[in-house]
């Protein structure tokens, strides 16, 4: 493509309230110079412009995933995926196949096992794996990311045994009536094994991330908000310095890097339009899938299971306020209603400093909200960074573990009705990176593999425009970049997605049939479907 392009005969949804619809957009050196009608705009462009007739196809702003673990996802493309396994035996077969290709002593690493879909909801044990992996240490992260399954060899190398105490904010699951570990490590306990797994080199990170970026572009993504540590950030910097980062990366800071960031004077939003500093990423609680979310009332069927507090309210308060004083916003993982309430309390305590510094505080996931707290999000101007696919994936375990409280879970429409600014993402590798599937989930509240079931809490269904807004305008605002990203308007970056079908016009059940034809970043084609 040339540097000067005019796209004509398109169904353009700009997400700009000033010019919401158009059929032509003009680009000059990566920026939008005009949006309007083909018949008018073609009159003033000369032959220095490349004219691309889109034949009525849909054009929307480039999509951004507001919550990823992108390096983990990219590196995980080489790990054993247990996605879709229906029984521990099926999972073990995949792990054994991988081990057969590795020398003895090398780690077998995997992702995405889900006890909630296995018979009886039973978690695997170290003995399950010992029988097939006697010479390979094993570590497999669950689909929710909050449980790690290890075999005896991995536990031995990590020094985890009957005498090992539970770390703060974590739990070594043990057999009933015994101190013997089962092989399941919850929350922070997973670090006991994770820290002895060989860390990939920067070159391995870079290679994996480049592969992941190509896949992201094929799905219509032009940007991500990434929740990872310094290893990932270094890799993104290396790619950026090579001039080869065609994905916009808003990178959060790991808790371990807070003091260094404050000392260096880093602030949220600092960087380039391609790579910039996000928020301080913190954890309040665990997850629903592992029943470690922090709850105001016990999980269904229990009298005393209130989940796990990963960091206490007092600990979070110290870190959030320290970051705020330094000009760094916080993005806090909160699943349970108690976790969300406590994080909101802290944001209320530091609202003045947040306003003075122009910070945009975020809660990541915001899955279960006490009724009185929806309006507090808006009052405190806290962004709800949520994942539509979690709602449809988790609907059954919400019904099981939260019961009637489910009406307040994944309540995306209630957030919007209360004036809460929202940004949408995937939490990849927990869910698929595909934003079209996220839009489908937000609009229909149905699972892709079970479209005959009625929508789950249909009052929370969004319009297509509301769903797309969360992946475009909402994501740009959450990243302090609404002046240059999020909508197709004059002066903004030419980040666009061309879809094969108009998801605004077709029946909602057909949204998944829309394919990405082009992904354009800064006026350059990052992906074109054959």
Beta strands in 58-197, from DSSP E residues, in sequence order: 58-61, 63-68, 80-81, 108-113, 138-142, 147-150, 170-174, 181-187
pLDDT-above-70 percentage for the chain: 100
In the DSSP assignment, the letter for residue 449 is T
**Half-sphere exposure of residue 137: CA atoms within 13 angstroms, side-chain side:** 17
- CATH 3.40.50.1000 fits domain 65-69+201-482: no
Of residues 85 and 1, more confidence is placed in 85
**What does the block give as tokens for 521?**
């970043």
Q: Which helix (H) or strand (E) holds 412?
A: helix 412-417
Q: Helix or strand or coil: residue 526?
A: strand
* CB 386, CB 394: distance < 8 Å: no
| Long-range contacts, stretch 440-444, CB < 8 angstroms, 24+ apart | 440/508, 440/511, 440/512, 441/388, 441/389, 441/391, 441/392, 442/388, 442/391, 442/412, 442/466, 442/467, 442/470, 443/467, 443/508, 443/511, 444/508, 444/509, 444/511
442: closest CA among 388, 364, 384, 365? 388
In the DSSP assignment, the letter for residue 373 is G
Q: What is the mean pLDDT of the chain?
A: 96
pLDDT number for residue 290? 87
| Angle formed at CA 486 by CA 483 and CA 489, multiple of 5 degrees | 70
* CB 106, CB 97: distance < 8 Å: no
pLDDT-above-90 percentage for the chain: 92
Give the mean model confidence (pLDDT) for residues 156-175. Answer: 95
Q: Helix or strand or coil: residue 344?
A: helix
So where are the chain's domains?
4-56, 65-69+201-482, 108-194
Residue 433: pLDDT band by 50, 70, 90 thresholds?
A: very high
Q: Which helix (H) or strand (E) holds 322?
A: helix 313-325
Q: Which helix (H) or strand (E) holds 52?
A: strand 50-53
Residue 145: pLDDT over 90 = no
333: closest CA among 139, 188, 123? 188
Distance between CA atoms of residues 28 and 523, nearest Å: 8
pLDDT number for residue 449? 87
Handedness of CA 482, 486, 487, 490 (dihedral sign): positive
Residue 172: pLDDT over 90 = yes
Residue 487: pLDDT over 90 = yes
Residues linked to residue 141 through DSSP beta bridges, in sequence order: 111, 148
% helix / strand / coil in the chain, to the nearest 5?
35, 25, 40
Residue 429: pLDDT over 80 = yes
**What does the block give as tokens for 205?**
């990170």
Q: 519 burial class (0-12, 13-18, 19+ CB within 10 angstroms)? A: buried
317-351: pLDDT as tens digits: 999 999 999 999 999 999 999 999 999 999 999 99
* CB 390, CB 348: distance < 8 Å: no
26-73: pLDDT as tens digits: 999 999 999 999 999 999 889 899 999 999 999 999 999 999 999 999
CATH (residue range 4-56): 2.30.40.10
Tell me, which fold does domain 108-194 have in CATH? Diaminopimelate Epimerase; Chain A, domain 1 (3.10.310)
Of residues 370 and 245, more confidence is placed in 370
Distance between CA atoms of residues 32 and 24, nearest Å: 11
152-164: pLDDT as tens digits: 999 999 999 999 9
Residue 126 sits at φ, ψ, to 5 deg, of -65, -35
241-286: pLDDT as tens digits: 998 899 999 999 999 999 999 999 999 999 999 999 999 999 999 9
The residue to which tokens 């079970």 are assigned: 450
Ramachandran region of residue 187, left (φ > 0), alpha (ψ -120 to 50) or beta? left
Of residues 143 and 512, more confidence is placed in 512
pLDDT number for residue 35? 97
The answer to whether the pTM exceeds 0.85 is: yes
Angstrom distances, CA of residue 377 to CA of 17, 227, 344, 345, 472 = 24, 21, 7, 10, 20
pLDDT number for residue 146? 86
pLDDT number for residue 134? 94
Sheet with 496-499, edge to edge strand ranges: 21-22, 11-13, 58-61, 496-499, 516-521, 524-528
- One fold for 4-56 and 108-194: no
- Give helix 337-349 / helix 313-325 axis angle, nearest 10°: 40
pLDDT number for residue 78? 84
69-98: pLDDT as tens digits: 999 999 988 889 998 899 999 999 999 999
Residue 451: pLDDT over 90 = no
520: closest CA among 11, 13, 18, 31? 31
Following CA atoms 354, 416, 514, 72 in sequence, which dihedral angle do they give, to the nearest 10 degrees? Answer: 40
Residue 215: pLDDT band by 50, 70, 90 thresholds?
A: very high
Distance between CA atoms of residues 376 and 481, nearest Å: 24
Cα 125 → chain centroid: 28
Pairing state of beta strands 170-174 and 181-187?
A: antiparallel
Give the mean model confidence (pLDDT) for residues 98-111. Answer: 93
Residue 1: pLDDT over 80 = no
293-321: pLDDT as tens digits: 999 999 999 999 999 999 999 999 999 99
**What does the block give as tokens for 168?**
């703060």
């Amino acid at each position: 493509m040339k540097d000067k392009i005019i796209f004509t005969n398109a169904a353009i949804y700009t997400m700009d309230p000033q010019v919401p619809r158009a059929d032509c957009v003009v680009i000059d050196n990566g920026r939008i110079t005009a949006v309007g009608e083909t018949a008018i705009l073609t009159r003033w462009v000369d032959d220095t412009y490349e004219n691309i007739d889109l034949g009525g196809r849909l054009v929307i702003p480039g999509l951004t995933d507001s919550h990823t673990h992108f390096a983990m996802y990219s590196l995980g493309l080489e790990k054993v995926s247990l996605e879709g396994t229906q029984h521990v035996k099926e999972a073990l077969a995949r792990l054994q196949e991988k081990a057969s290709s590795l020398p003895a002593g090398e780690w077998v690493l995997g992702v995405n096992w889900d006890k909630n879909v296995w018979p009886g909801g039973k978690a695997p044990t170290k003995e399950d794996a010992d029988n097939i992996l006697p010479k390979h240490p094993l570590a497999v992260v669950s689909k929710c990311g909050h449980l790690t399954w290890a075999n005896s060899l991995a536990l031995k190398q990590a020094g985890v045994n009957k005498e090992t105490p539970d770390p703060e904010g974590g739990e070594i699951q043990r057999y009933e009536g015994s101190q013997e570990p089962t092989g399941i490590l919850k929350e922070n306990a997973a670090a006991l094994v994770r820290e002895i797994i060989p860390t990939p080199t920067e070159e391995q990170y870079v290679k994996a991330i480049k592969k992941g970026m190509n896949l992201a572009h094929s799905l219509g993504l032009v940007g991500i908000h990434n929740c990872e540590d310094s290893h990932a950030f270094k890799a993104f910097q290396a790619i950026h310095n090579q001039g080869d980062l065609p994905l916009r990366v808003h990178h959060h800071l790991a808790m371990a890097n807070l003091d260094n960031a404050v000392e260096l004077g880093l602030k949220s939003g600092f960087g380039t339009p391609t790579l910039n500093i996000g928020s301080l990423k913190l954890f309040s609680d665990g997850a629903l899938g592992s029943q470690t979310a922090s709850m105001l009332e016990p999980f269904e069927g229990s009298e005393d299971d209130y989940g796990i507090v990963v960091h206490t309210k007092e600990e979070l308060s110290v870190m959030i306020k320290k970051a705020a004083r330094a000009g760094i916003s916080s993005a806090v993982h909160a699943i349970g209603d108690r976790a969300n309430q406590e994080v909101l309390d802290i944001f209320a305590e530091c609202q003045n400093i947040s306003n003075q510094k122009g910070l945009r505080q975020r809660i990541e996931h915001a899955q279960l909200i006490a009724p009185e707290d929806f309006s507090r999000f808006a009052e405190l101007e806290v962004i709800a960074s949520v994942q539509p696919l979690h709602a449809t994936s988790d609907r059954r375990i919400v019904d099981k573990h939260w019961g009637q409280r489910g009406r307040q879970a994944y309540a995306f429409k209630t957030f919007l009705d209360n004036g809460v600014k929202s940004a949408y993402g995937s939490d990849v590798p927990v869910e698929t990176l595909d934003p079209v599937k996220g839009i489908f989930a937000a609009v229909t509240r149905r699972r892709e593999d079970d479209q005959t079931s009625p929508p789950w809490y249909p009052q929370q269904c969004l319009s297509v425009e509301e769903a797309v807004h969360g992946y475009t305008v909402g994501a740009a605002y959450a990243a302090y970049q609404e002046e240059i990203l999020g909508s197709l308007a004059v002066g903004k970056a030419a980040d666009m997605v061309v879809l094969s079908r108009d998801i605004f016009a077709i029946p909602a059940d057909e949204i998944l049939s829309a394919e990405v034809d082009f992904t354009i970043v800064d006026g350059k084609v990052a992906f074109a479907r054959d």
